[in-house]
Amino acid sequence: MGVLPVVNTYPLSSYTFGTKEPKMEKDTSVADRLARMKVNYMKEGMRTSVEAILLVQEHNHPHILLLQIGNTFCKLPGGRLKPGENEIEGLKRKLSSKLAANSPSHQPNWQVGECVAVWWRPNFETVMYPYCPPHITKPKECKKLFLVHLSEREYFAVPKNLKLLAVPLFELYDNVQRYGPVISTIPQQLSRFQFNMVNA
């Protein structure tokens, strides 16, 4: 129990990045998003979403890959599962949709690993918590974050309307203003891993 799990991280420069057709957001405002969530909840029940923490290294420090929309908003790659969909398979589907070339023969080897955090949305509002609050019997969304182990070399195709950023842990830490409560506490959730920085 005293040994920390090891995660291999490879230099950002071992990965190749291209572009593909834009992936537009389904909603143009937060209000639209919450309204669509409500409609879907009535049809399908609690929304389940899955997101990936993809790690690379630069200067011997771990960095996380984030998708930037416009000039400020950043998110983890991932998305909503279909009703009844397996979460591992669903996350691979979402990762391929967001970050893989369209050719089925050039899919990255998505190795979905440890679940590192679970967040709950009690109401049709933006706020989420890392627990289901007491007295909430029907949460509206459960979001799981998984560590996805990258191979030493991969090709990523980034939708033209998005930017893929490699953000160091020290930039995320204690930076809720810029990255929000979910992404800004990823450094704490990863602290139990031992990073093996492979200098390929």
Q: Which positions touch a copy of itself (CB under 8 A)?
A: 1-2, 4, 59-62, 86-88, 112-119, 129-131, 133-134, 146, 168-170, 173-174, 181, 185, 187-192
Cβ proximity to a copy of itself, 161 vs 189, nearer residue: 189
Cβ proximity to a copy of itself, 77 vs 187, nearer residue: 187
149 pairs with which residues across the strands?
Answer: 111
Cβ proximity to a copy of itself, 16 vs 86, nearer residue: 86
Cβ proximity to a copy of itself, 33 vs 144, nearer residue: 144
Q: How far is the CB of 52 from a copy of itself (least distance, A)?
A: 13
Rounded CA separation 63/49 (Å): 23
With 0-12 / 13-18 / 19 or more C-beta atoms within 10 angstroms meaning exposed / middle / buried, residue 133 is exposed
Rounded CA separation 50/65 (Å): 15
Instruction: Specify whether the CB–CB gap between 61 and 169 falls below 8 A.
Output: yes
Rounded CA separation 55/197 (Å): 10
Cβ proximity to a copy of itself, 83 vs 181, nearer residue: 181
Q: How far is the CB of 172 from a copy of itself (least distance, A)?
A: 10
Q: How far is the CB of 34 from a copy of itself (least distance, A)?
A: 21
Q: How many C-beta atoms lie closer than 10 Å to residue 134's C-beta?
A: 5
Dihedral sign for Cα 2, 129, 77, 41, please. positive
Q: How far is the CB of 58 from a copy of itself (least distance, A)?
A: 9
Q: How far is the CB of 77 from a copy of itself (least distance, A)?
A: 18
